[in-house]
Chains A and B, each alone.
Chain A
Amino acid sequence: MSTQFRSDKPIFIQVREQIEDQIVNDQLKEGEQAPSTNQLVQFYKINHATISKGVTQLVDEGILYKKRGVGMFVAEGAKQKLVQKRKQAFMDDYVIGLVQEAEKLRISENEIIELIKKAGKGDKA
């Protein structure tokens, strides 16, 4: 299997996230044609069914849409939607854990803010 995939998460989710990344990074712009399932199969060396599962989720969420006989395109407002979704995930994945750990260690809010500023400057705390 391709080494580009981690083994602790279903591959179709990672495929979906890689396409999402491209949209968030502006590598794939709204209105542009997204790679076809076949291109994705060849690129990732992952079976059709798995790729389709990831792509179908993006279609269901209105990130991509299908044009019959032409292919898949990035929907208007897709980036905004993804950024919104990722912000929510940022809260769940990073902020909540950070606050909980800080409470355990009795790090004050101000200290947290200082640490974040330091990290932003690239200093090692």
Chain B
Amino acid sequence: MSYSIEVSDLTVYYKNFKALDQLNFKLSPGKVHGILGRNGAGKTTLLMYLASFHKAKHGTIVIDGEDPFENERIIQGTSFIYEKDNTYHYDKIDKIIKSIHYFRPHFDEAYARDLAKRFKIPMKKSVDQLSRGQSSALQITIGLASRTPLTIFDEAYLGMDAPARELFYKEILLEQERYPRTILFSTHLVSEMEYLFDEVLIIDNGKVLLQETNEQLLEKGHSITGPKENVEAFTKTLKVIHEEMLGRTKSVMVYGHLPEQEQRKAVELGLEIGTLSINNLFIHLTREGEEA
């Protein structure tokens, strides 16, 4: 089971500051969505609205066909996982895991215990005794094992070391195969997670900068390297998002569809064409106006 999401004209103000500005997008069900953006771009605000923490005042949010705000069915089916969840502060982990099924009907306790063991979370301690990484791992464990149709991870891995994050990514893939759901990820660690995203939504200054599938995005990013003059002549009409020079060799990153005949033309000009990672695209598309 997985929820679809449709956001129309969503605008959110914090006093006079426009945190989200006329957002319009749809998120398809059963997919992993990477929600990317710079610090302060509006990611967390957006995710909190999608998790029904607030009622949309300007614009609408429709989840699985309904208005999610104070909607028992949708809220029960939505997990919002973030590092600083203090809900269970003084409870023993063992007791927490035993109690989740009361409000998460699809919670798999055996799976949660197995995950907790692999994350090396001490079951006999209380949450306030956990390290930062262990605390994040616990939230992730509960989030994965709850199997909610909409699962939102907001920078949920903070403090977790690389092996623990690897385990997390691996479990996402396995769980998604067993019980597909709609997963939203907000992250700064784009490079190590980008292969998980089926679709990518980039938010910049409260607006949707782009929304593409993983494949479309990879097909649109190109690096072009060669003698300075040739590179400049070839990229004159393209959207250049970054450039670097090394002696007389220039390397630029461009964003946009590059038809095959154009690519062949580049090769004839002695230019080298390469692909760009989502991380590269993210960095350079969201830093317009700053010094490159």
Q: Which DSSP category, helix, strand, loop or mixed, fits chain A's interface?
A: helix
Query: At the interface, yes or no: B240 with Cβ under 8 Å from chain A?
Result: no
Interface centre among A11, A44, A48, A50 (most CB of B within 10 A): A48
CA of A42 to CA of B215 in the docked complex: distance in angstroms?
17
Contacts A8-B274, A47-B196 hold; do A42 and B218 have CB atoms under 8 A apart?
no
Chain A residues, Cβ within 8 Å of B274: 7-8
- Whether A47 touches B173, Cβ cut-off 8 Å, given contacts A7-B274, A8-B273, is no
Instruction: Evaluate contact between A41 and B195: CB separation under 8 angstroms.
Output: yes
Out of A1, A38, A49, which one reaches B215, CB within 8 Å? A49
Q: Which size class do B's interface residues fall under?
A: 10 to 19
Residue-wise, chain B 164-175 has the 8 Å CB interface mask toward A (1 for contact) of 000000100110
Task: Name B173's contact: one of A1, A41, A44, A50 (CB within 8 Å).
Answer: A41
On whether the beta carbons of B198 and A48 are closer than 8 Å, the reply is: yes
Residues of A within 8 A of B275 (CB): 1, 7, 11
B213 contacts A by Cβ under 8 Å = yes
CB of B223 within 8 A of chain A? yes
A45 at interface, CB cutoff 8 A: yes
- Contact among A38, A46, A50, A53 with B174 in the assembled complex (CB-CB below 8 Å): A38
Measured in the bound complex, the distance between the Cα atoms of B125 and A25 in whole Å is 52
Residues of A within 8 A of B218 (CB): 11, 50
A87 to B214, CA, bound (A): 34
Per-position contact with B for A31-74: 1 when CB-CB < 8 Å, else 0?
00000001001101111111001000000000000000000000
Q: Return the CB mask of B252-292 against A: 1 if under 8 Å, else 0.
A: 00000000000000000000111101000000000000000
Residue-wise interface mask of B (191-204) relative to A, using a CB-CB cutoff of 8 A (1 in contact, 0 not): 00011111000000
Scoring B residues 227 to 254 as 1 if CB is less than 8 Å from chain A, else 0, what string do you get? Answer: 0000000000000000000000000000
A49–B223 alpha-carbon span in the complex (Å): 22
Q: Cβ of B72 < 8 Å from any Cβ of A?
A: no
Chain A interfacial positions (CB closer than 8 Å to B):
1, 7-8, 11, 38, 41-42, 44-50, 53
Known: A1-B275, A47-B197, A49-B215. 7 other contacts (CB 8 A): A7-B273, A7-B275, A42-B173, A44-B195, A47-B194, A48-B198, A49-B214
Chain B interfacial positions (CB closer than 8 Å to A): 170, 173-174, 177, 194-198, 213-215, 218, 223, 272-275, 277
